[in-house]
Structure 1
Amino acid sequence: MSDTTIEALEASFGAVETAGAVVRPMLAGAREPSGAAFEGFLRSGASVEMKAFTGVSGDTGGFAIPREIDAEIDATLKSISPIRSIANIVTVGSAGYRKLVTTGGTPSGWTAETAARAETGTPTFVEIAPPMGELYANPSASQAMLDDAVFDVEAWLANEIAMEFAKAEGAAFVNGSGTNRPKGFLQAPTANTGDTVRSFGTLQYLASGAAGDFAANPQDRLIDLVQALRGPYRQGAAFVMNAATLARIRKFKTTDGQFLWSPSLTAGTPATLLGYPVIEAEDMPDIAANSLSIAFGNFKAGYLIAERSETVILRDPYTNKPFVNFYATKRVGGCVSNSEAIKLMKFSAS
């Protein structure tokens, strides 16, 4: 036995203050760099009282185990009207946006080579001014919440605001009153007269043949709706309806048993009805007496969306301390820009 070992043992025995009382040496993490005391304890073989740490209960160490929370917050999916995806969108520099539309075209005529040429008519201009409105939200979160939360609160709030704005503007594009918000295409005046007779700005509707329902041979009514839209507008046209209406139409068959509905065969390609894509918009009304539950048209030509800018979010940690406000705004407007490009089906007898 070396002298170093003997000195270590003598030092450990000297720690005994009274008979039978053992002063426990420090654990490895707290011992002196030499490690002599702990090594001596291990070599001595002295019994020691041990405590077990487990995560089974809180007082035996479970409180020390961190709880892991999923950093992504699940939420119910919100129905966002897809009218924006098929309409004409322009970015404006002010709320005073105007658009000119000509009606009637420029008349012309035939004449002989040496005959006199009379003056022809000139086009008529119509001014379109989409009603504008401002969406806003002003949620707040405490600074402690922003510091301590296990997920990115700011990013989550920004995403929630964007989703709510999209939902609100989608509903306005369909049914908005036009007062401090866009005017929806279903709020435009309607008549069952043709394009050459109906006044500009009034949408044409076709009756389904029965109040609150389809009449016999409903596929014929849908074909009439498609053909009511003139050829130049049918290029790029689409059906717009909600899920309940679509569920009924998907069951329609022709006289030879073929479905009118054609499911999509490739990813990213919408299903078609009578050869035209179907846009599912939950803001469209359910089928009821005199409801305008189906729209068909070229919305790029027929509906105008004017927006001042994208959604702007201002982080304000000063106004309401210790809370941080997230002030979000979005200015957007919309209206029917060409009443010949959109047709409606009205669920009425005539």
Structure 2
Amino acid sequence: MEVDIEVKADALEGAFDAVLAAEAVDELKASVSALKAQLDAQAVAAGRLPLDGAKAADPARDAFVERYLRRGIDAGVEMKSLSGASAAEGGYAVPREIDGSIASTLKSLSPIRRIATVVQTGTSGYRKLVATGATEAGWVGETAARPETDTRSFAEIAPPSGELYANPAASQAMLDDAMFDVEAWLADEIGREFAVAEGTAFVGGNGTNRPKGFLSYTATNEADAVRDFGELQYIASGAAGAFAASNPQDKLVDLVHSLRAPYRQGACWVMNSDTLARIRKFKTSDGAFIWQPGLVEGQAASLLGYPVVEAEDMPALAADSLSIAFGNFRAGYLVADRGETRILRDPFSNKPFVHFYATKRVGGAIIDSNAIKLMKFAAS
């Protein structure tokens, strides 16, 4: 009888041990699952994009902003030297994040850059080959001779360029203030100053140490088929320094259709706000305005179905002025940016202010003179 009791007791004790072991295994599995979930959460958090307003860690940007811009410590900052005697004479390369902010400001504030073709170049000697004329073909019989046809000729475009510079200043007290966002301030200041200078050059620059503006090219009333390459065609407004007294909108229609159909896809108007104010008052014979506002916020207004770009650098109405441009600027005008923006910190010239001398090489030129048309405010 005692043997039976001992056997039963041993079996019961073994059952308890098995239950405890199973519970231990379950607890271990739960701990492992919790640890795995925690590691997965950390991995997701590490791969997640920064919250709005937060900046991902970038050693190059941090060294540039916190060390060089704020305190003038140039260790660890990429140099762009132009002189062997002074390592920093060429300034310091702006990190891509700040350079991208400057480029965004330029695109939003410089109207011609926004509608033209923009290329990044690694040399100031940028060249582009443009085909001129048209290929010819012919009809022949089955056994007739095939005379040689003319081939297209090419013109080389070398956009004139110059060094664009800006020189904003901040006090050292502002730079010492940790709450002062020197990165955003500098990108905005440089971008705005660059945009103002660019806007003037892309419209009327003479090509000497700066881009050549599209209004600096020879303008003639000859059509595309007979006009020399590099010359722009103009349509006369019908009156010196003004629109024609009757049906002034007719000349705008003539200007639109002087541009060949392939170019009209993507074409736009360019004029200053004073000229646009005059055109907005034009009406058709049934009393409808030819100017139409954008239907949604941010959409450009349209004139005869084409968007209007306001460029204050376009000349005001005067005798023989070229105050309105219409064309496909993406096909007709090229902006060439060479390299990144460079900055040289100058705390000595105007104490207690610190100047940031920023430079960038920019070029510009017409690449297709058939893609842009002008209105000349003259009788003929």
TM over 0.5: yes
Equivalent runs, 1:49-128 vs 2, <5 Å: 80-128=109-157
Structure 1 residues 240, 139: CA separation in 2 closer, same or farther (over 3 Å shift)?
A: closer
Q: Find the partner of 2:298 among 241, 262, 268.
A: 268
Does the CA contact (< 8 Å) of 2:242 and 2:378 recur in 1?
A: yes
* Distance in 1 between residues matched to 2:253 and 2:178, nearest whole Å: 56
Counterpart of 1:288 in structure 2 is 318
Does the CA contact (< 8 Å) of 1:81 and 1:171 recur in 2?
A: no
Structure 1 residues 127, 323: CA separation in 2 closer, same or farther (over 3 Å shift)?
A: same
* Distance in 1 between residues matched to 2:202 and 2:147, nearest whole Å: 45
Does the CA contact (< 8 Å) of 2:236 and 2:379 recur in 1?
A: yes
Does the CA contact (< 8 Å) of 1:162 and 1:311 recur in 2?
A: no
* Distance in 1 between residues matched to 2:161 and 2:147, nearest whole Å: 44
Shift of 1:138: 3.5
1:219-250: CA deviation from partner (whole Å, max 9, x where unpaired): 10000000000011011100100100000101
1:228-276: CA deviation from partner (whole Å, max 9, x where unpaired): 0001101110010010000010110011111101111122321111011
Counterpart of 2:196 in structure 1 is 167
Task: Tell me which amino acid in the other structure corresponds to 1:137.
Answer: A
Do residues 204 (structure 1) and 233 (structure 2) align?
Answer: yes
Does the CA contact (< 8 Å) of 2:166 and 2:193 recur in 1?
A: no
Shift of 1:126: 0.5
Shift of 1:148: 4.7
Do residues 338 (structure 1) and 365 (structure 2) align?
Answer: no
Shift of 1:327: 2.2
User: What secondary structure sits across from 2:299 in the alignment?
Assistant: coil
Shift of 1:139: 4.2
Does the CA contact (< 8 Å) of 1:158 and 1:313 recur in 2?
A: no
* Distance in 2 between residues matched to 1:179 and 1:105, nearest whole Å: 32
More divergent stretch after superposition (205-214 vs 145-154): 145-154
Task: Tell me which amino acid in the other structure corresponds to 2:341.
Answer: T
Size of the alignment, in residue pairs?
Answer: 273
Counterpart of 1:46 in structure 2 is none
1:102-161: CA deviation from partner (whole Å, max 9, x where unpaired): 111211101111111011111111111100111123444453442258634564244212
Does the CA contact (< 8 Å) of 1:81 and 1:283 recur in 2?
A: no
Structure 1 residues 110, 277: CA separation in 2 closer, same or farther (over 3 Å shift)?
A: same
Unaligned runs of 5+ in 2: 1-105
1:323-348: CA deviation from partner (whole Å, max 9, x where unpaired): 64422111100011110000000000
Q: Find the partner of 1:239 among 266, 269, 275.
A: 269
* Distance in 2 between residues matched to 1:339 and 1:115, nearest whole Å: 38
Structure 1 residues 271, 319: CA separation in 2 closer, same or farther (over 3 Å shift)?
A: closer
Does the CA contact (< 8 Å) of 2:174 and 2:180 recur in 1?
A: no
Structure 1 residues 280, 263: CA separation in 2 closer, same or farther (over 3 Å shift)?
A: same
Do residues 301 (structure 1) and 336 (structure 2) align?
Answer: no
* Distance in 2 between residues matched to 1:139 and 1:269, nearest whole Å: 33
* Distance in 2 between residues matched to 1:237 and 1:330, nearest whole Å: 29
1:255-302: CA deviation from partner (whole Å, max 9, x where unpaired): 111110111112232111101111111111111111101000000111
Shift of 1:309: 2.8
Equivalent runs, 1:167-206 vs 2, <5 Å: 167-206=196-235
Task: Tell me which amino acid in the other structure corresponds to 2:376.
Answer: K
More divergent stretch after superposition (134-143 vs 320-329): 320-329
* Distance in 2 between residues matched to 1:184 and 1:191, nearest whole Å: 16
Structure 1 residues 173, 278: CA separation in 2 closer, same or farther (over 3 Å shift)?
A: same
TM-score w.r.t. length of structure 2: 0.68
TM-score w.r.t. length of structure 1: 0.73
* Distance in 2 between residues matched to 1:160 and 1:312, nearest whole Å: 14
Counterpart of 2:342 in structure 1 is 312
* Distance in 1 between residues matched to 2:285 and 2:167, nearest whole Å: 56
* Distance in 1 between residues matched to 2:304 and 2:337, nearest whole Å: 33
* Distance in 2 between residues matched to 1:288 and 1:136, nearest whole Å: 32
Structure 1 residues 319, 286: CA separation in 2 closer, same or farther (over 3 Å shift)?
A: closer
User: What secondary structure sits across from 1:309 in the alignment?
Assistant: strand
Give 1 or 2 for the bigger CA radius of gyration: 1
* Distance in 1 between residues matched to 2:296 and 2:183, nearest whole Å: 37
1:295-318: CA deviation from partner (whole Å, max 9, x where unpaired): 000001110110113433344569
More helix by share: 2
User: What secondary structure sits across from 1:182 in the alignment?
Assistant: coil
Do residues 222 (structure 1) and 252 (structure 2) align?
Answer: yes
Counterpart of 2:96 in structure 1 is none
The Cα RMSD (Å) is: 2.2
